[in-house]
Structure 1
Amino acid sequence: MGKVIVIDDNVVYCDYVGNLLAKEGIAIEKIYSFAAAKKALSAVRSDEIVLSDFRFPDGDGIELLRLMCETGHRNPFFIMTDYDEVPTAVRSMKSGADDYISKRKLEDELLPVIRNLLKRKSLANTNGENIFQRESEAFQFIDRRIRLVASTNISVLILGENGTGKEHIAEKIHRLSDRANKPFVAVDCGLLSASLAASTLFGHEKGAFTGATDNKAGYFRESDGGTLFLDEVGNLPMEVQQMLLRAIQSKTYRSVGGSQDKVADIRIIAATNEDLKKAVEEKRFRQDLYYRIQEFVIELPPLRKCREDILPLAKFFIDKMNTELNKSVSGLDEEATERLQLYNWPGNVRELRQTIQTAVLMTGNGMITTETLGLPEEVVYANSDFSLIDDEIQKERIIKALKQADGNKRQAARLLGISPPTLYKKLEQYNIQ
């Protein structure tokens, strides 16, 4: 995925904006002059986003935008403005700018805009091809539920810890639905401030509030005909929850400051790592909205409960990172493999991906070792998915653990949460070779 190019001749402010994005893990490039920006934008890559100040001593943002368009580039282009420049910035949108962002509200407005644009561009570029198909029993069950609900318009609530892949599940539901050729719009509700949430979701009319100098479409309009994914939905302000409930119930919505309802042909998929029932009890989440969004529930287990997925996922990420980082890592050595399988992954698949990314970068070529893997040595707790709880399923669990450990009995015993001598007794008892 490309970077965000920040252009401002105020070096301090340019650094501030760039650092704000960089802290969120977004790749950036900072340009401090109009002349340098003209040169850079004439050769801008198609996957890059431009965030430019409006006024320069020797030109303006409109000229930069026109230069980019003249060279055949149609990159997302955003104007940063001071309050008294808003009317001029609005006029710049007629030249092709995607939007303007007030410098006074930059911390509230910038990250939601950039993050959601990056998500949509990433989805468009991959078309879902790089989403790994997990083969564990738990995810085979989840896959069946996905296929069952995908062809309907039922609202879906996806539950799971941070990093379990809730957005990937939402994307898969969308791709398997009749709306697959329509937009999939992902919104991180945790990034929406209380003052901007309603406008961001439903849009606003000119004059609706101070600074609203033009009409602006929201994510509901953008996802028309497709799917709107509301990640961390529990963070929505109560007044916006009411608006969302009405939109789901009536299939219509009204923009902020608007006087007419607009049709909302949208499929809602929501996700959270929060206990929404508790939020309802504490009056932080509307009960009627809770029942509306959880017509069908998909609950994702943590990675530590699906240990048979760890190695296949790791191998998938190694191949992916080799391509992205131009490395040639061939795999994991035996000790690194064991460490990978026995770690409890509090950050789930997201943590596994980041761990493999760092390991591939540090290794460069050859095999990943425990040193480059960088994980602490720890044992799997006895209450893991492999633990021997029920006599009737012990044999099945032992076979599963042995397969996961590639026949290594010591490692299988650790996965099962038992001692090697106990495992040997069980192997003899069940005549497992």
Structure 2
Amino acid sequence: MRVIVIEDNILFCDYICGYLQKAGWKTVKIHHLAQARKFMLSSLGEEDTLLADLRLPDGESTSLLEWMRKQGYSQPFIIMTQYEDIHAAIHAMKLGAEDYILKPLIEDKLLPVMEKIRSRNLSFSKVIYERKSKAFNELYHYIRLVAPTDMSVLIWGETGTGKEHLAGNIHRQSLRANKPYVTVDCGMLPKELAASAFFGHVKGAFTGALKEKAGYFQEAHGGTLFIDEVENLPLETQQMLLRAMEERRYRPVGGGQDRRSDVRIIAATNENLHKAVAEKRFRADLLYRLQDFTMTVPALCHCPEDILPLADFFRRQYSEKWQLEVSDFDEPAKRMLLEHSWPGNVRELKQVVQAAVVLSEGQCISSRYLKITPTLGPETMKVGRNSKKMQSLLQEEEQAEQQIRQAIAESNGNLTQAAALLGISRPTLYKKMNRYGISNQ
């Protein structure tokens, strides 16, 4: 996990980065808002945290925070300032800032906030790892088997299924757990800079190479390098990656000497790489080298028993974050969550619940707060209904609703008799009627 420090005072920026690095955090230095926006569009990770001075040469960091939230970025954002300004603090917190810290108090306040963020990020990894569906239990079994080895792992899964979190779990259970864990998103990596990003470059290697730069391989030495969206690597860089994996050495761009490589590779993709090989966009020999061990992450619609536990985790997480007492989902809301096909997988579920917690204003979350389509047509439901488990679950719900409606009709609206026909108590019947939206009028 990294901290992106946005501070125009270079000396103070260096001091903060050094302070965080001593506490075990990786840091990135940025000095202007325009530079920060450019960085976020190309290199911001899901588990990054931003620490920004309130006033910067090209504006206030609250404008950056507001822009981030409108663009869908949910990374924690901490604002620091030299002078106390209660109005600025309130404005920042309303925009979704994690905290507002006075610079004179930075040594006392910053690390506790960072540890809270770290704990929250780890708890998300934990809930991903503790999913109880049969498909995920099988996946965890594979992780326990492969983690202690040094085999390369290729993880395939749809967007939003949590591939990065699973890769992190492999690293944390490996013999390299106390060494660096470096992530790179090839989808955000400019093709002309890919080789330098991975293997570094020497001074003067190309126009603009004013000093030597270390690459991801050097940063991850002794540890694990997670390569997300690996299908986007340029062919030239694919060749260099293959050599680094096979020969355990690489050469920086423009360099004259090889460097030793001691890095475990975990790669992830949502694309059929065999098709990419056939289309000559991906090297067959690199694919074979990456897939020492292959794992497929099931889509959320194939694990319906995970939907409500995950939704409840996100409800608790965001209720705590925004100090809202949101107690639960009502039954129609739960049913809506189960019926949705979740094409965006866990990431989509997280966003839906996050918005619902805010909209509910501390009340129980009802279906009207869930910004998803309540009834889905055949085409929209195609992915979800292809899952036998999802189809079975929905059929059971439909049958239960039909039985209740039939019992009420047969008893001419007498709920005591209807409950007796169903073999349940009257209070249980009330709960089920509320769940399915059944009126006795």
Q: TM-score range by the shorter chain?
A: 0.5 to 0.7
Distance 1:138 1:358, change over 3 A: same
Alpha-carbon deviations, 1:282-304, whole Å to 9, x = none? 00000000000011100011100
Amino acid at match of 1:386: K
Give the conservation status (yes or no) of the 8 Å contact 1:251–1:264: yes
Task: Provide the residue aligned with 2:176 in structure 1.
Answer: 179
CA RMSD of aligned residues (A): 3.8
1:350 lines up with 2:347 in the alignment:
yes
1:255 lines up with 2:258 in the alignment:
no
Task: Provide the residue aligned with 2:362 in structure 1.
Answer: 365
Q: Helix, strand or coil: the match of 1:277?
A: helix
Residue 326 of structure 1: how far off its partner (Å)? 2.2
Residue 410 of structure 1: how far off its partner (Å)? 3.3
Give the conservation status (yes or no) of the 8 Å contact 2:53–2:79: no
Amino acid at match of 2:389: F
Give the conservation status (yes or no) of the 8 Å contact 1:198–1:240: yes
Amino acid at match of 1:5: I
1:143 lines up with 2:140 in the alignment:
yes
Give the conservation status (yes or no) of the 8 Å contact 1:170–1:269: yes
Distance 1:189 1:123, change over 3 A: farther
Q: In 2, Cα distance between the equivalents of 1:241 and 1:144?
A: 30
1:130 lines up with 2:135 in the alignment:
no
Alpha-carbon deviations, 1:211-260, whole Å to 9, x = none? 21211111111111111000000000000000000000011111111111
Task: Provide the residue aligned with 2:436 in structure 1.
Answer: none
Residue 373 of structure 1: how far off its partner (Å)? 1.2
Q: Helix, strand or coil: the match of 2:375?
A: coil
- Spell out the pairing of 1:87-166 with structure 2 (5 A cutoff): 128-131=122-125, 132=127, 133-166=130-163
Task: Provide the residue aligned with 1:340 in structure 2.
Answer: 337
1:298 lines up with 2:322 in the alignment:
no
Distance 1:138 1:223, change over 3 A: same
1:410 lines up with 2:371 in the alignment:
no
Residue 305 of structure 1: how far off its partner (Å)? 0.5
Q: In 2, Cα distance between the equivalents of 1:127 and 1:370?
A: 28
Q: In 2, Cα distance between the equivalents of 1:305 and 1:212?
A: 48
Task: Provide the residue aligned with 1:383 in structure 2.
Answer: 386
Residue 409 of structure 1: how far off its partner (Å)? 4.7
Amino acid at match of 1:130: F
Alpha-carbon deviations, 1:59-101, whole Å to 9, x = none? xxxxxxxxx899869x9xxxxxxxxxxxxxxxxxxxxxxxxxx
Specify which of 218, 222, 225 is matched with residue 225 of structure 1: 222
Residue 188 of structure 1: how far off its partner (Å)? 0.2
Distance 1:70 1:163, change over 3 A: closer
Amino acid at match of 2:387: S
Q: In 2, Cα distance between the equivalents of 1:281 and 1:413?
A: 49
Give the conservation status (yes or no) of the 8 Å contact 2:34–2:58: no
Aligned residues: 330
1:309 lines up with 2:306 in the alignment:
yes
Task: Provide the residue aligned with 1:84 in structure 2.
Answer: none
Q: In 2, Cα distance between the equivalents of 1:245 and 1:413?
A: 56
Distance 1:283 1:34, change over 3 A: closer
| TM-score (structure 1 length as normaliser) | 0.67
Distance 1:250 1:21, change over 3 A: closer
Amino acid at match of 1:222: E
Q: Helix, strand or coil: the match of 1:259?
A: coil
Residue 413 of structure 1: how far off its partner (Å)? 6.7
Amino acid at match of 2:388: D
Distance 1:123 1:250, change over 3 A: farther
Give the conservation status (yes or no) of the 8 Å contact 2:194–2:233: yes
Q: In 1, Cα distance between the equivalents of 2:148 and 2:118?
A: 21
Task: Provide the residue aligned with 2:262 in structure 1.
Answer: 265
Task: Provide the residue aligned with 2:432 in structure 1.
Answer: none
Distance 1:221 1:345, change over 3 A: same
Give the conservation status (yes or no) of the 8 Å contact 1:3–1:29: no
Distance 1:284 1:69, change over 3 A: farther
Residue 306 of structure 1: how far off its partner (Å)? 0.4
Specify which of 321, 328, 336 is matched with residue 324 of structure 1: 321
Residue 386 of structure 1: how far off its partner (Å)? 2.4
Residue 129 of structure 1: how far off its partner (Å)? 3.8
Distance 1:234 1:310, change over 3 A: same
- Gapped runs of 5+ residues in structure 2? 10-30, 62-75, 81-102, 408-423, 425-441
Question: Identity percentage over the alignment?
Answer: 45
Give the conservation status (yes or no) of the 8 Å contact 1:164–1:349: yes
Distance 1:320 1:30, change over 3 A: same
Residue 385 of structure 1: how far off its partner (Å)? 2.7
Residue 363 of structure 1: how far off its partner (Å)? 1.3
Q: Helix, strand or coil: the match of 2:124?
A: coil
Residue 31 of structure 1: how far off its partner (Å)? 2.7
Amino acid at match of 1:244: L
Give the conservation status (yes or no) of the 8 Å contact 1:2–1:47: no
Alpha-carbon deviations, 1:149-180, whole Å to 9, x = none? 00100000000100000001100100111111
Task: Provide the residue aligned with 2:26 in structure 1.
Answer: none
Q: Helix, strand or coil: the match of 1:270?
A: strand
Task: Provide the residue aligned with 2:194 in structure 1.
Answer: 197
Q: In 2, Cα distance between the equivalents of 1:140 and 1:276?
A: 25
Q: Helix, strand or coil: the match of 1:368?
A: coil
Residue 366 of structure 1: how far off its partner (Å)? 2.0
Give the conservation status (yes or no) of the 8 Å contact 2:301–2:390: no
Distance 1:420 1:365, change over 3 A: same
Distance 1:214 1:314, change over 3 A: same
| TM-score (structure 2 length as normaliser) | 0.66
Q: In 1, Cα distance between the equivalents of 2:290 and 2:190?
A: 21
Distance 1:47 1:219, change over 3 A: farther
Q: Helix, strand or coil: the match of 1:221?
A: helix
Amino acid at match of 1:410: E
Task: Provide the residue aligned with 1:59 in structure 2.
Answer: none
Task: Provide the residue aligned with 2:427 in structure 1.
Answer: none
Alpha-carbon deviations, 1:175-224, whole Å to 9, x = none? 11111111111100111111111111111111111121211111111111
Amino acid at match of 1:225: G
Task: Provide the residue aligned with 2:55 in structure 1.
Answer: 31
Q: In 1, Cα distance between the equivalents of 2:265 and 2:181?
A: 10
